[in-house]
Structure 1
């Protein structure tokens, strides 16, 4: 069974961090000190599983009252192209709605913009570099 959920245990947190390290640090060469940051302790984390095998992760933190910041959304390469990023985002957006967020913001890697646009996020910035990777800011009214 494939599902995404809010991280509730230390093992689930470790699984989410494992996915982030595989994707961002190993695959995309983001320095570990940038990937694991001071917001990890304040954020609500999410993890996706195929049975017992983790394959996706993400987090939301409060950016401003009623505005959430979606960050660190990633799927392992072997699970991409199967609409599982949508599963991850649905879980995170449901959490945001349940917690009365009015808007979600995120910094999308430029190659992922079409994915977020299909989920009704709109671009709100010119392109910029984050960890050496081109990004654009996006947001969505909930």
Structure 2
């Protein structure tokens, strides 16, 4: 397992660029999703996170509020070299920690995610439950999942 991994909330333009770099490597180059579909209008209203190993970005994700009780996590991705080493777990823990620390006016009760079908077992281990049949988005099969907090 890789050590020296730092997972941080994005606060600077450089950190956001790093998150977009990882997303482009995974979603656009590896999975073939067109860049106009990968980058969307929700990027401006989301809290992004990025993970680093020895100063290099290796994972990214984002979360946004749907309303005062529901958060939507998406764009979770880890560079291939760092998969199956608990990086995704740490990313999800950081995002879940973020939504539970929001002001009292926002009381998140449910986190929703659209998981690529191959990743469903990963999210199930983190207590997310499938809430939809499989659907296709950008040519990739997904399942809707959620977790009650």
Query: 2:36 aligns to what?
Result: 33
Query: 1:131 aligns to what?
Result: 138
TM norm structure 2: 0.93
Query: 1:67 aligns to what?
Result: 70
In the alignment of these two chains, the number of paired residues is 142
CA displacement 1:47-100 (0-9 Å, x = unmatched): 001121110000001112220000100000000011111011110010011123
Task: Describe the SS at the equivalent of 1:106.
Answer: strand
Runs of 4+ in 1 over 3 A off after TM superposition: none
Cα distance in structure 2, aligned partners of 1:59 and 1:115: 17
- Unaligned 5+ segments in structure 2 are none
Cα distance in structure 1, aligned partners of 2:69 and 2:98: 13
| 1:10 aligns to 2:13 (yes or no) | yes
Cα distance in structure 2, aligned partners of 1:64 and 1:107: 17
Query: 1:80 aligns to what?
Result: 83
